[in-house]
Amino acid sequence: MKVFDGKVVVVTGGGSGIGQACAQAFSDLGATVVALDLKFGGKQELSVEHRLTLDLTDESRVNAAFEAILSEYKKIDVLVNSCGIIHRATVIDTSLSDWNKVIAANLTSCFLTSRAALPSMVENGAGAIINISSGWGIAGGDRASAYCASKGGVVLLTKAMAVDYGKANIRINCVCPGDTDTPLLAQEASLVGSSIDRFRAAGASRPLGRIGKPDEVAQVVVFLASESSSFITGAVMPVDGGASAGTG
């Protein structure tokens, strides 16, 4: 069923991983999808209406991109914020430059895109924003101070916006994936001197016994954007194979 026929969906981080899976899922369900990212070139061919390459931490470029989207499509029904980078280091080992880059990519980008999309949603009296945080946005992780801070910020930015815009019929929710088999996870493994295969094997300690797939996260995002979740806003939803529930 093309349940998103007539809907305009903007997905940041749409060039790979979870963002790419989200963009494709919405497109498959009939939405007009605009994918935004610093670069494209994931393993899967992404079949969406438009792919815009831009720095999502650059205020003027983000504003210009959203003005162009609204000029062409007249509205934005759904915004998915999946832009993000990983940095693994303790506070002592994190430079101010690295801290600023992580906060900008993971948190400031959500602020900029949400601020650009919300006026149209308010005017239309409806909309949905789904922010992709992380399991480490609701619990700390080792050697990941900047990353945890940025993703924790995404969680509370989500809640604050849900409070502010609920009366405008705009629902804003947050998805917190655990380890998911993406290029970002492979990069993270390299940063800590490990391999993606070891990260996959570590998934055996979780209740479902494995790490996640990008499509599994995307399906939750689609649910939160759909009328099936019409009374859900301000929610923080782990999609982590039970990792946040504990280990056996």
119-144 residue pLDDT tens: 999 999 999 999 999 999 999 999 99
Structure tokens at 231: 């009374």
Which residue is listed with tokens 């993000």? 84
pLDDT in the model for residue 67 = 97
Is 73 marked active-site?
no
Q: Which domain holds residue 153?
A: 8-240
With cut-offs at 50, 70 and 90, classify the pLDDT of residue 196.
Answer: confident
With cut-offs at 50, 70 and 90, classify the pLDDT of residue 45.
Answer: low
Q: How far apart are CA 240 and CA 217, in angstroms?
A: 9
Q: Is residue 245 part of a domain?
A: no
Q: Is residue 61 part of a domain?
A: yes
Pairing of strands 78-81, 32-37: unpaired
Dihedral sign for Cα 221, 222, 223, 224, please.
positive
- Asked if residue 109 has pLDDT above 60, the reply is yes
Q: H helices then E strands: how many in the chain?
A: 8, 7
Range from 100-114, 152-166, 170-184 carrying the lowest mean pLDDT: 170-184
Q: What is the CATH number of the domain that holds 187?
A: 3.40.50.720
Identified catalytic residue from 147, 162, 177, 182: 147
What is the percent of the chain with per-residue pLDDT over 90, rounded to a whole number?
80
Q: Is residue 172 part of a domain?
A: yes
Q: Is residue 13 part of a domain?
A: yes
pLDDT in the model for residue 78 = 98
- Asked if residue 46 has pLDDT above 70, the reply is no
pLDDT in the model for residue 113 = 98
Mean pLDDT in the chain?
Answer: 92
User: Do 80 and 9 touch, CB atoms closer than 8 A?
Assistant: yes
pLDDT in the model for residue 110 = 98
Q: How far apart are CA 32 and CA 30, in angstroms?
A: 7
Q: Is residue 3 part of a domain?
A: no
Structure tokens at 59: 């205020």
With cut-offs at 50, 70 and 90, classify the pLDDT of residue 48.
Answer: low
Range 185-196 average pLDDT: 77
Range 48-56 average pLDDT: 86
Structure tokens at 24: 């494709």
Q: Is residue 76 part of a domain?
A: yes
Q: Is residue 247 part of a domain?
A: no
Q: Is residue 37 part of a domain?
A: yes
Q: What is the pLDDT of residues 220-238, one digit of tens each?
A: 999 999 999 999 999 999 9
If one counts the domains in the chain, the total is 1
Q: How far apart are CA 65 and CA 68, in angstroms?
A: 5
User: Do 14 and 35 touch, CB atoms closer than 8 A?
Assistant: yes
C-alpha distances (whole Å) from 138 to each of 123, 153, 236 are: 33, 10, 9
pLDDT in the model for residue 47 = 60
